[in-house]
Structure 1
């Protein structure tokens, strides 16, 4: 989430920076500023439409190029596959011709003075039937035809003048080539026949490039195959095709044609055809016949849709999209002009009203933002007209109304002053009641105690000033029958609430404590142990505050310290932790919250009276939460550990503690401090 917030902040900063910059020349910017609202709307619409039109054009052009390129790429792949298949069959003619040249029956007959054609023909028929060769011709060492597998009656002719036969018999070379016989192209390979290093004949093996051979290549390449001779298609892998045989321009390398293949014929003798894309591939095999000027293979594939359909789809979609954009522009201009005219009528009505026609109103109200502006103008005009009438009426009776209004204000001011004086008197009375119940500097044996109290609420009643609040401190000296010497009783509390409410809690606490002390006024010693007495004090205080049903609570730190030994019993009811200053180091004497405020329900069962030992030189510092609640840099800082540092710096002296607290910031609550030092 933090990373997202940083990205959002960066983007917003960039947008603000971009918005603050002037992106157009100053002259154009000033000219646009002077446009009417209609002109600005036209400018906005056209400024948005032109990039949209360019983007749309580029998108459709890219789509067209991608689709066309995909079709061309498929054709190129099929051309490569077809070329590889053709080369494969060309190599097989060499393999089969060499296999026949190594056949012992063929060699035996070629070595004989009188050649028996029967064994050679049987071998040729076996090979031809097993590997689908169309042509096998065997020549003797003189170049005479021994056998034609495809025409057994044609033999005896001397063909030593043919280049491939001469190369085989005289040079011992293999010769692949294309031949032309009886209107057919033949892919063949001629090899010599050796016996003990002597050439005894030649064998030619080949395929007729007819429809059957085209289908065999088509099965390997999964594409349609056409054989092209001198620009005309002479064989095809398809049984039926049209619009192809009479053309004379199928020898161009990078041109793409469409041919039609008949798929089926209906009962009404109507043909259903498919359109195929056709691409020409030249055959590089050497040509031996003068009739062969150009020979090649045309590869055909069926596109997912015809090129005509592709062009119609792309450019039709572009035209439709362009029409939609133009319609959107016209619609935006129409709506913009309506908005501008409506805004102009509002402007005219406001101008007429400002010039004094107070009855001017908008009669036609729309349901959009401008309609709400017009309705607001009508309401404002009506209210202003009413106020103007009231002002005119008031001007006529102004003097009388001023007198009446002045009397009302004086009466209200007198009431407020009277209430304020009564409240200040209540504050003084409450302060006078609490003051005799509060403690002051006190000394018992080796113990010296002093108190600082400054309440937040100040008052001034008939020249008498003071303050009231919920902080309360009390010191007293007690003796117990079970213990020799005197004990110092100390109490530091903070009643809930501000001013009167807090002071009421402090008054209740003071009256209760003095009532407890008065029970032993006739006795010099209290007949119980210090810890038990402290427990009794707690239970009575908690009982009194519980009577208010949690509407009056008080935090407190209370204890007893033996004046001679320094033994201390104490309890803490959710009061700020007390601080012990020993050897210049300040530490809290509590480390956890064990008791809730006085008056909390179910609090009585959780009393915990602690015992600890104070040594000579020790200083115990108690204080209310006003010592921690300090306003620093317009924020309340309640760092409790800061008080330890303050006590150490002040040496435990209350005046220094108050001075340091005020140096940090402004106090936000009542402040009471108590210092007990063991001499």
Structure 2
């Protein structure tokens, strides 16, 4: 759209809007001028009707008083009411003369019960009961009453007055067309009366014909209509009822406004012609005005697009308006630009040279930094193991660091996450060691923590693999020593380097899983298509905190065939989720989202990684480990035991129930000689031997039982207790420490440890354990005191 068209559009639209506003205002003014006098005329006719009714009422009341004062008339009415109808019939002409004199069309006599005794206007009609009418009730109580009411004669004004003999007289005037014509008093006003929506009477045939077949509700107040070649204004007015009747009267008035309609139409024609002339004149003036502006703007535009042309011959600099001022500004600006152009070209060359030097320095620094990053990634690479494929356990891992870079066309990444998988032997049993850690900080800071963590952990593994002394440790003791060594290393950094870690030992033969968690995300167990957190509690803080506990808690779990474990760093949960409805992103705060992803992926590591990446942007380093335990192992055929074994087992159970423990022991030992694979037999024999104080045999059976079922903490204590009784204090201490790693606040075991430290001469451990035991007892006594429970001794 051109500039001229825009000017025309603005001016034309504004003028058209102005004309519309004036037209609407004019229409409202005319309607108000037309409606107000018509409504006033209608109200005047309604008031006239009310005044006429009051006048007729006053006249009729005067008539009733005159009847009461006229001895002849009163005597006629009172004597006639004494069942003397012939008397009343004989004086019909006399009474009708009174009715004619006062313009009455209704004259009735009622007895003291409100029964019609005689009607002078219809002598043959009498005997009906009007006692329910309010004006009749008022007269029977000795009062005069009047109201409009529907009767046999139609709508009429009826007035009642009491007679001295207890009866009453009712006179009135029918509201007919003659009555209404007297009220209207003008040939251009037509009136009709409705009661409860039904037509009653009208003033003339004009309004009667119009109302034929129409309902009162269909008539709109203030409407204008055309009827019989004329134009009318229609309105409705309600009658104010005095409460003496059940009438609901409405007056419909049609006011002839044919002459007013003709005048209004002529006025509209004159106004329309004037508006068109004004609108045309404004358009012509707008065209001339816009042509002058457009010529000046086009000249200025051409001068701007063609700076090589002489602007003094193109732009009219003699104009005194704003366009002339713009032309002068353009000329001055063109001169200034030409002056600055040469200066700016030289300045740009200088700045370009400076930026090129800065860019070269930045590139050199980045090359050096990427070299440092690449060297760090090379150092981290041998510390991370991502795969293990054993006969019963298969481990696969994903390690993606957040910081990625390119050094001499080699792509690499660095970060704080680390994954390690290895094997060690403890007491001749092979354990699978896997570790997942997350060092604090991004890129080079996190990579430094991962480098320290991986190096120290690798050294611990190597020392365990090469040293038989280090292999003579329980899994709990090995994990505690590993934690202590890592904690001591990271404490030297004074809190500037913290690492969360999850270190696990897995006995592939029994499925025993030993884990130590230093504020790392919980392990997830996927079993029977359901994912759950394996350890919801965190007893340790990150490695490097100076206030960490000296008694780390070791958790022990039993893995079943087909179980799948998932280990991962914070990156699996630190996902920036996008909400399309709100057009904004937010960090994931749902800790159970990862569990749902594990279930959706059905334990598949590749699908799990895709689900996490598809959920949103991963804002941290990501490391995931999948440990599948005996997922594809061949089912072992059921072992056929000899009948002698089953017989000995059943007899031993019967003797045990009888309390014959020695016989039970003998039978179970014979059964073990036949088959030594049932740990339950060793468990029962250990209990029997310890109870009979045969501690050496009890130790042997306890160790056999725990070799197959290493999860039973109670029998770890029994083993330590039996070893203490055989005076093998150092081995007893080893099992007691094993239990302490699992249950640090086991009071019975702590008291047992105090005795062992005393017997072995370990004074420092003796004092520390007593202090630890007292602190636990004091805390528990405080809790029991608050809850009202008995205090521990």
After TM superposition, the score normalised by the length of structure 2 is: 0.44
Q: Greater helix share, 1 or 2?
A: 2
Higher relative contact order (CA closer than 8 Å, sequence separation 6+): 1
After TM superposition, the score normalised by the length of structure 1 is: 0.50
